[in-house]
């Protein structure tokens, strides 16, 4: 009698055993996404996996929102080089079992979502993180400050709660606003500031401030400036040096043919400047 296990079955049992043993480890929980169909997800389109419990209308919404999110990406990046795998859960228990937090997040090879984030704005925000990493690589990505990571994602997504209107409301209500968002680049510093700038109305001041800074920069340098910044990072130029250099070199908005979506924000820059 042959007592040897079939290799795929043995591998699966090993993975499941490790997950059970180290279920408190976030990295391992996220690693389960490498085999999503083993853990309650099914593929409904190429590189799109959803919970088996997800209702049909939500599946349709997700697929339609992915197409719209891609269009938003193209507006800012000009082209999309990443092809993120999308993992969509029906419940928070499912979501957290893959190390999800918040309502959506970028993961190693894609995007993990809850139904609340099945909208183009939320998807494109997380997709921007994946795209930037794909363009500059892991080491380059770590050198980019958090305010730019999030500010660029805000500029791509256009989520209303990250808009300049949020800064206007915060200022009108006397809430503290970061004096220099560019000083909040390190991950730990950024995380501490997220707590510091919380407020009773739940206004997302940090993301709005980062979006304000990056939209201002994009208004000045245009899509070509963003691509130049990415090239500079791939050439090992220091981020802030390249960021400021590109802004200084940009003479006029017209010369750089920026996307019109940023022009309205430019008209309100002084009104909301912290």
Per-residue pLDDT of the chain (274 residues; tens, 9 = 90+): 444 445 555 555 455 555 444 444 556 778 899 999 999 999 999 999 999 999 999 999 999 999 999 999 999 999 999 999 999 999 999 999 999 999 999 998 899 999 999 999 999 999 999 999 999 999 999 999 999 999 999 999 999 999 999 999 999 999 999 999 999 999 999 999 999 999 999 999 999 999 999 999 999 999 999 999 999 999 999 999 999 999 999 865 444 444 444 444 434 433 444 3
Q: Which two tokens stand for residue 81?
A: 């080089």
Rounded Cα gap, residues 68 and 197, in angstroms:
32
Name the CATH architecture for the domain at 17-134: 2-Layer Sandwich (3.30)
Report CA torsion sign: 208, 213, 216, 221: negative
Domain ranges of the chain: 17-134, 143-274
Burial class (CB in 10 A: 0-12, 13-18, 19+), 175: middle
Which pTM does this prediction carry? Answer: 0.83
């Amino acid at each position: 009698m042959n007592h040897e296990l079939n290799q795929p079955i043995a591998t699966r049992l090993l993975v499941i055993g490790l997950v059970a043993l180290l279920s408190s480890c976030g990295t391992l929980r996220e690693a389960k996404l490498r085999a999503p169909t083993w853990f309650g997800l099914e593929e409904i389109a190429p590189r799109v996996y959803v919970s088996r419990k997800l209702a049909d209308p939500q599946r349709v919404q997700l697929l339609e929102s992915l197409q719209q999110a891609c269009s938003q990406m193209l507006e800012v990046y000009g082209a999309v080089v990443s092809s993120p795998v999308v993992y969509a859960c029906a419940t928070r228990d499912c979501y957290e079992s893959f190390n999800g937090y918040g309502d959506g997040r970028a993961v190693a090879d894609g995007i993990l979502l809850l139904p609340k984030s099945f909208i183009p704005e939320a998807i494109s925000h997380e997709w921007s993180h994946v795209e930037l990493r794909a363009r500059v690589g892991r080491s380059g990505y770590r050198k980019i400050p958090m305010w730019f990571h999030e500010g660029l994602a805000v500029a791509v997504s256009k989520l209303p709660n990250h808009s300049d209107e949020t800064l206007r409301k915060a200022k009108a209500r006397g809430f503290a606003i970061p004096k220099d968002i560019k000083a909040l680049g390190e991950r730990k510093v950024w995380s501490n500031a997220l707590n510091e700038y919380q407020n009773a109305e739940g206004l997302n001041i940090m993301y709005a401030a980062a979006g304000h800074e990056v939209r201002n920069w994009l208004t000045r340098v245009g899509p070509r400036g963003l691509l130049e910044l990415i090239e500079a990072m791939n050439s090992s130029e220091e981020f802030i040096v390249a960021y400021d250099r590109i802004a200084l070199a940009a003479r006029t908005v017209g010369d750089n043919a920026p996307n019109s979506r940023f022009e309205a924000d430019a008209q309100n820059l002084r009104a909301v400047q912290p």
